[in-house]
Chain A
Amino acid sequence: MQVSSNQFKQAASVKLADPNVQKALRNAKGKLVVARSRSILELDNFEEIRDAAARIRDFGLLHMDVLLEEWEKKAVAAGTIVHWAETPQQVNDMVIEIARKHEVRKIIKSKSMLGEETNLNHALETAGLDVRETDLGEYIIQQFGETPSHIIAPAVHKSKDDIADLFALKHGRPRLDDIAALTHEAREILRPHFLDADMGISGANFLVAETGSTMIVTNEGNGRMTTTMPRVHVAITGVEKIVPTLEDISLLLRLLTRSATGQSISNYLSFTTGPKRPGDKDGPGEFHVIIVDAGRTTVLASEIREALRCIRCGACMNHCPVYQNIGGHAYGWVYPGPIGSILTPAYVGIEKAIDLPNASTLCNQCGVVCPVKIPLPDLMRKLREQQVQKNLRPWPERLGLRLWAWTATRPAVYGFLTGIAARLGKWLGGRERLLHRLPAAGSEWTASRDFPAPSGKTFRELYAKHRNKGTR
């Protein structure tokens, strides 16, 4: 996907002013936050499960090399054809090559965020292939010609009316007003494509080392059809998705669906272990898995490695006060919200996403809800430090911080300057005791807020008087 993360501020401003987006976001926030908070009550040891999940993910990351080789051995034994891709470009090239070899014309896709990273649909279409998204949200987004704004609810920024208009236009049928009817119509439109597609493409939520399987978690059933109906199936997934055992998967699933949508369990869990075997009723004749690096091993070797624990539930964005107000598109790449503010600079380059690690209040609501305990604010702070070390911050900010540190380590100078500021502020605040306009960086504050004026003298001055009086 094109990276537009450095237009974050302007994009956020547009979203803040869009009443449709605001309404859709408000609606989604209510539903997802409440659903999660209810469903975790079903677990009486939720915090212990989170600890265990973090350990499982860390174990997988720490032993990634060994576990991936074990996975490959099992997968190959089951008949899977395994590919290793270092870059997004290689992923697209590999998929196109497989498609050419099998004379594929039509491809159906189940959801893949990694496919968004590599801009797979565009590459496939450019190669002359017909690509159909089959996840309902992804289908809607593809029809709009947009990109997902959320990792599990790609069309969360659209209202029912937006979608009703879209379907009437694209399907050439009478406009429907009922969500169930709209969904039914999408099924009818999609069904023939499932039946005559030559190739299916999916992602994978996890790779199971002990069985050599890929695994996906879905609700709509499109994932099951994508992985079993076409004659060729290609799964693409990142190296970090490796998990040692099925038992580990069962623990992670207790957290994944609850954190994502508030469901105790998803409607479908699909494990794929090799292609169709003799005697199997269905399944692809050929099953390819492309294991992708695309920046992950660099993150693994860095101070933000915990970000790779992510199991893509979306809870951090659902609970983020910034995401809740601007939605996902402003973040400018595949992954929005707190986890996106870490993965985007890590995968596309720190200088291409300067705003993201800074565009957080560090309220840590994300860290509190993360099912695998990624210390998201700490990682954002690490990236802020890297920006400073690489001289990527604007000079007025650097100068301001330097001056602040210089004075704050010199109490006499500090006391003198704050004494002036306290008096000046009080005088400017007048009888209302409010400052309506501040200069320089302060103007961002006073554009939409007043600034309560200081009360006139500093604590240190008043305390010195108070103490003198006391001892006299």
Chain B
Amino acid sequence: MKVGLFVTCLVDLMRPSIGFASLKLLESAGYEVIVPVEQTCCGQPGYNSGDRKAAQALAKKVLAEFARCDYIVVPSGSCGGMIRAHYPELLAEFPELKAQVEAIARRTYELTDFLVNVARVDSVPGQFSGSVTYHDSCSGLRELNIKAQPRALLAKVAGLSVKEMQQPEQCCGFGGTFAVKYGEISSRIADLKCEDVQSAQADALVLGDLGCMLNIEGRLRRRGDKNIRVLHVAEVLAGMTDPVQDADRRTAG
């Protein structure tokens, strides 16, 4: 079984360790992982900003790059949701692509969803000494029904305990370009998320979408909280929870 890893543009640019953690998890689950080197972005920024043409160009690119994969796995509910829930509508004007679009939508999985419902993993390599609180990112939760999967996997991480916040399903205020178009509102919504995260009194906030991570961590740090760690679920599950060291290690080698 060939699994195509769609790294996502944010992970590529900001935090490669999430990509390597995903790779490790998929390989340790026994899959042959293909990482198409030409991949860039799923097209969501254009799609959500009304630039349909730009989004279509990138969607077609993804379609071509992952055509030979049995599954496409994405460490993001947002980009995974884009492919699964929105490509069929976005590419509806191209009837010649219909079969291909339906196939990719069917074969695309968010990482934790794939590990639980396709790979059915019994164990994960990661270990973590401490408590985490999990934020349910909107697209994963409401487009892909990602809720139980990350929690089921976190329960398998040695040494880790989960402390739920009050409203894990409440939006963090990121919303892609919304965060820079309406920064003041976005930040206020993030504030409420930060308060909820802090009151959970966990050692780390864990979530499955880098966009929301940047938003919540950015607001936490500006509020003066330097303690709580903000980690991607893939990093925790793979036991790669120090991204910078990890990246440095890799480049040093």
Q: Which residues of A contact B (CB under 8 A)?
A: 9, 12-13, 16, 321-322, 325-326, 358-365, 367-368, 378, 381, 383-389, 393, 397-398, 401-402, 404-405, 407-409, 411, 414, 418, 421-422, 425, 433-434, 441-442, 444-445, 447-452, 454-460, 462-466, 469
Contact = CB atoms under 8 A, between A and B. Distances in A.
Chain A CB within 10 Å — which of B45, B182, B190, B251 has the most? Answer: B182
A462 B251 contact: yes
B13 A358 contact: no
Given A326-B185, A414-B40, A462-B16, 5 more contacts: A325-B188, A362-B176, A401-B45, A418-B12, A455-B247
Nearest to B189: A321
Contact of B214 (A360, A362, A364, A452): A452
30 contacts: A321-B189, A325-B188, A359-B178, A359-B185, A362-B138, A362-B176, A367-B142, A384-B48, A384-B49, A388-B51, A397-B49, A404-B54, A405-B58, A408-B9, A408-B40, A409-B61, A411-B37, A418-B12, A421-B13, A444-B182, A444-B184, A445-B218, A447-B184, A450-B219, A452-B218, A456-B251, A459-B12, A460-B7, A463-B16, A464-B37
B159 interface: no
Interface stretch (B103-111, B123-131, B150-158, B167-175): B167-175
Interface in B233-253: 243-244, 247-248, 250-251, 253
A368 B14 contact: no
B19 A448 contact: no
Most buried by A among B51, B139, B215: B51
A458 B185 contact: no
A388 B247 contact: no
B138 A360 contact: no
A442 B16 contact: no
A405 B46 contact: yes
A166 to B, nearest CB: 28
Interface residues of B, number: 72
A388 B49 contact: yes
A454 B13 contact: yes
Contacts, number: 211
Contact of B190 (A387, A407, A449, A459): A449
Interface string B168-200: 011101111011111111111110100000000
Contacts of B143: 364
B113 interface: no
A462 B20 contact: yes
Nearest to B250: A462
Given A361-B189, A362-B175, A466-B250, A388 B52 contact: yes
B211 to A, nearest CB: 10
Contacts of A407: 40
Nearest to B40: A408
A363 B138 CA distance: 5
Interface of B: 7, 9, 11-17, 19-20, 35, 37-41, 45-54, 57-58, 61, 89, 138-139, 142-143, 169-171, 173-176, 178-190, 192, 213-215, 217-219, 221-222, 230, 243-244, 247-248, 250-251, 253
A27 to B, nearest CB: 14
B222 A449 contact: yes
Nearest to B36: A411
A455 B213 CA distance: 14
A368 B186 CA distance: 21
A408 B54 CA distance: 10
A456 B244 CA distance: 8
Nearest to B175: A361
Contacts of A448: 183-184, 187, 219, 222
Contacts of A364: 138-139, 142-143
